[in-house]
Amino acid sequence: MARPAGRLETAAAPALLAALPALALLAALPVLLCGCGGPSSPAPTPAPPQCVPPTPAPTTDARTKVETITTVLVGSGGCDGQDAACKDNKTLEAMVVSLGVDGEGALVSQQRCWTVPGLPAWLAVRGPAGGARGCLFAVYPDTSSIGIFQLELDSLNGGTTAKMVSSVATKGVNPVFGDVALEGKYLVVADYHGPDDVKSSDGAGVESFAISADCGLKFVDFREHSGGSGKVPDRQAGAHPHSAVAWGPDLVFVCDLGADKIFSYRVEANGSLSVLSSVDTAAGFGPRHSVPHPTKPMLFVVGEMGCEVLTYNIDETTGTLTLASSVSTKPNTDPPSYGSKAAEVVISPDGLHVYASNRAFSPGFRHTVAVFRLMDGGVLEPIQQMDCPSFPRGMAMTPDGKALLVASQTDGSVVSYQVDPETGLLGEVISTQEGPLGAAAFAVLPELPAAPSELSV
């Protein structure tokens, strides 16, 4: 595939570090050569590693100009171990790619990407508020660290973009998910601690960081998780926290795929984490991700091996979860055996429809997005199975609810589906663009105020 050079954002930090001895030598050269010790000219900056943005897909749009309204960044999880068709290439995976989405859900390439020091398997956004900047945090499981980006106005494409600043190490091992809690004050992170079949849980847990006004992260607390359910031995030998989702003023719900448990945590005012309670799922369910209802005290949890969405009612004061309902994510044409893994769960902005994705890894199973209508009592009524590109690990809905974005982890393609505003049903594919190879995570960037906030200080 041709990947012509375009406008680039680059990761200078690792190259600078690697080049430090060389820089020191260069700085010393004038002294060594002439012995004069006068003011030396600045050392030449070494060429940083550069990502090459994927080739823009030809537009099938009849409009001459696609108006970009929202920037969506796409991260990569590398190849799934059970995806034989996916071919790893670190250069094309350790990359965040910027796409634009217009008001009708059409995707455009923004010819912008970032080479990052790890697999950007999850992306979390803090919007700008009260004088604090907007931030993006990229979670790198393979290097157990979090990338820090500041949001800024995009002079190239218009709208919002991000500037890579630095990264920090996590306390736990293999972070896979992060969310912003307590009105943007803290980042909570789930540390998965792989591989899936490891018996020890050392480094599996949940941690918190304080977020500064300029997006810096300072470690606050780490709560270890221990013990897998062992029901699916090659997935659940140890604890595997897979997500940490903030809700309400101070609650965080943590799905532990290895332990078959969902934990309710409180983020204290000082950022420390307290376990309030936990609920057990069915053995072998593998709770993976969750999404709260936009207005009601309700949480939807997707089980990776169980291939179901569970609806829980949330007790707003104690954080206790009570199971209300469950429904299968799989198409009824799938065999009844374990040959598909559910991945993502998202809800429409009006709270009326829920979407869950299925990654087929055995013959006879289908890669689909399951669509549900939310009924009384938290019951999810299945209304559609939409076939989709292979290994749909990541999904996101546009803020206006008009399009559902689905990422194929196999080949890095990103498709946008039309969403019927009344029925929630998925319609035709609006457009397709390339994300990073192994595309798996989305961040929808907020609009920024037109004047840079630092000018008003």
Ligand X SMILES: *[C@@H]1O[C@H](CO)[C@@H](O)[C@H](O)[C@H]1NC(C)=O
Contact residues for ligand X, defined by CB under 6 A: 3, 89, 91-92, 268, 270, 272
Q: CB 150 → ligand X: shortest distance, Å?
A: 28
- Residue placing its CB nearer to ligand X in the complex, 212 or 272: 272
Minimum Å distance from CB 37 to ligand X?
Answer: 44
Q: How far apart are CA 312 and CA 292, in angstroms?
A: 9
Structure tokens at 433: 């663009």
Taking the complex as a whole, the smallest distance from the CB of residue 220 to ligand X amounts, in Å, to: 8
Calculate the alpha carbon distances from 388 to 108, 358, 370, 426 in Å.
19, 9, 10, 11
Q: Which is nearer to ligand X, 358 or 413 (CB)?
A: 413
- Residue 52 C-beta: closest distance to ligand X, Å: 7
Contacts of 72 (CB under 8 A, 6+ apart): 98, 99, 100, 101, 107, 396, 405, 442, 443, 444, 445
User: Is the Cβ–Cβ distance between 417 and 428 less than 8 Å?
Assistant: yes
- What are the structure tokens assigned to 403, written together? 């399009």
Side-by-side strand order, sheet with 403-408: 392-397, 403-408, 413-419, 426-434
Q: Tell me whether residue 299 or residue 437 sits nearer to ligand X (CB atom).
A: 437
CB of 67 to ligand X, least distance (A): 31
Scan for tokens 């009260």, then name that residue.
130
Question: What is the rounded (10 degree) CA torsion for 145, 150, 156, 157?
Answer: 90
CA separation for the pair 279, 301 (Å, rounded): 12
CB of 92 to ligand X, least distance (A): 5
- Closer to ligand X at the Cβ: 89 or 390? 89
Of the pair 224, 268, the CB lying nearest ligand X is at: 268
Look at the alpha carbons of 437, 438, 444, 448 in this order and tell me if their dihedral is positive or negative. negative
Nearer to ligand X, 5 or 457 (CB): 5
- In whole angstroms, how close is the CB of 43 to ligand X at the nearest point? 29
Phi-psi region of 401 (alpha: psi -120 to 50; beta: other; left: phi over 0): left
Residues 149/165, Cβ–Cβ less than 8 Å: yes
Closer to ligand X by Cβ: residue 131 or 249? 249
Cα 164 to its chain centre, rounded Å, is: 16
Given the complex with ligand X, which of 116 and 388 has the nearer CB atom?
Answer: 116
CA 226 distance to own-chain centroid: 24
Q: How far is the CB of 358 from ligand X (least distance, A)?
A: 29
